[in-house]
Amino acid sequence: MSTLIEQGKNSFMTNYKQFDIVIDHGEGNYVYDIDGKKYLDFVAGIATNSLGYGNQALKDALHAQVDKFLHCSNLYWNEPSIHAATKMVALSGLDKVFFCNSGAESIEASMKLARKAQKANGNDEKTEYISMMDSFHGRTFAAITATGQLKYQKGLNPLFPGVSYGKFNDIESIKALVTDKTCAIMVEPVQGEGGIKPAEQSFMTELRTLCDEKEIILIFDEVQCGIGRTGQFFAYQNYGIKPDIVCLAKGLGSGVPIGAIIANEKTAKGFQPGDHAATFGSNPLVTSAASVVLDVIGDDEFLADVTDKGMYLSEKLHALEIKHDFLTGVRGLGLMQGLVFDLKIDRLGIVMQAMEKGLLLVTAGSDVIRFVPPLTIKKEEIDECMTILEDILSEL
């Protein structure tokens, strides 16, 4: 393994700081490195491998499409993308879909669509955006500007103009930023990289009301918290409101790279032929995968099971919190949970120890270890995770 890792270090740019393991394959909710060591996966590609590893329906769909063709231009229709888009419209209660390749691309598309829609509706002056402090929206230029964390923006000034940052779950701070130039407000229903922080019901309701009153487009970034992660197919369905645009990626392809936005009819009209494109958007291979994900995760029984397992995971994490003074909270929705640590605790050290014991974990924010396993995780595997974690925490 060490020789292969050295080859990687010699060949890759240094924008990633990988752990010294090489993943070889996965099975169920476990992955194996090239030496055969088995790891219980509570990272899932950072909330991406929604169906775990080796899902037969997903493999069958991909194999069938490989035997047909891999790609065609968006100059033409293809059947898998039509099926996937139709399912997304039905599940979302929104109207029109645009496919792209990643979460950051979906954010860029949403910001572009918001401006185009405002201009199409005669609001030429509406060109500015409000996002949230501690948010994360991606690494491309507009997306990183919308991200309300300075550490991600370091060395990139000047940033994309016209973006301001309000306080998450503080509607008055948002209202104070709204002007006649406000085009769109962007929010994660559950902040991911910011520390697994769910939005409050009143905040989401008042955001929707504010946007309606001021002709502002409301964008929900569900790149991490969408696709069944919270126990509802879309995280906004926990709040009983709809956005004008929702951004998706990660779990939508269960490991196959795909992103998307879905918009209501009024907003979607902002895009006309030639206004926006993605060479690989609507690709038949990736939309074949998405169609399987939509069928499996969109099932009411599957979502109820995610809710049940999410409550079980939360209960287990709360039990740890009660037992250890250096744990200060548990927060999240469904199978997107965060365990909050005293800032003096070395979370990365815990992640490393867990890896040694065959458990993959990942941090979030400044004080959280997050738990975002495949949505197919089993309760006995949650118990396995908790046993390993307790072994580590009891030594601190």
| 212, 231: one domain | yes
pLDDT for position 2 = 83
Last residue of a domain, one of 242, 262, 297: 297
> Is residue 63 situated within a structural domain?
no
| 345, 320: one domain | yes
> Is residue 60 situated within a structural domain?
no
| 206, 271: one domain | yes
- What CATH number does residue 201 fall under? 3.40.640.10
Give me the DSSP letters along 210-225.
HHHHHT-EEEEE-TTT
> Is residue 113 situated within a structural domain?
yes
| 39, 166: one domain | no
| H-only helix segments in the chain | 2-11, 44-47, 56-68, 79-92, 103-120, 141-146, 150-153, 171-175, 201-214, 265-268, 284-297, 300-323, 347-356, 379-393
Report the predicted TM-score, pTM, of the whole model to 2 decimal places. 0.98
Number of domains the chain contains = 2
Determine the structural domain holding residue 99 and report its residue range: 69-297
- What CATH number does residue 334 fall under? 3.90.1150.10
> Is residue 334 situated within a structural domain?
yes
Q: Cα–Cα–Cα angle for 274, 277, 282, nearest 5°?
A: 125
| 160, 292: one domain | yes
pLDDT for position 1 = 79
pLDDT for position 374 = 99
Provide the token pair at 130. Answer: 């409000």
| 185, 323: one domain | no
| 133, 160: one domain | yes
For residue 161, the 8-state DSSP code is S
Q: Cα–Cα–Cα angle for 63, 67, 69, nearest 5°?
A: 110
Q: Which tens digits make up the pLDDT trace of 156-215? A: 999 999 999 999 999 999 999 999 999 999 999 999 999 999 999 999 999 999 999 999
> Is residue 320 situated within a structural domain?
yes
Q: Are 149 and 135 in contact (CB under 8 A)?
A: yes
| 32, 139: one domain | no
Please give the helix or strand (H or E) that residue 327 lies within, else none: strand 327-333
> Which residues of the chain are modeled with pLDDT < 70?
none
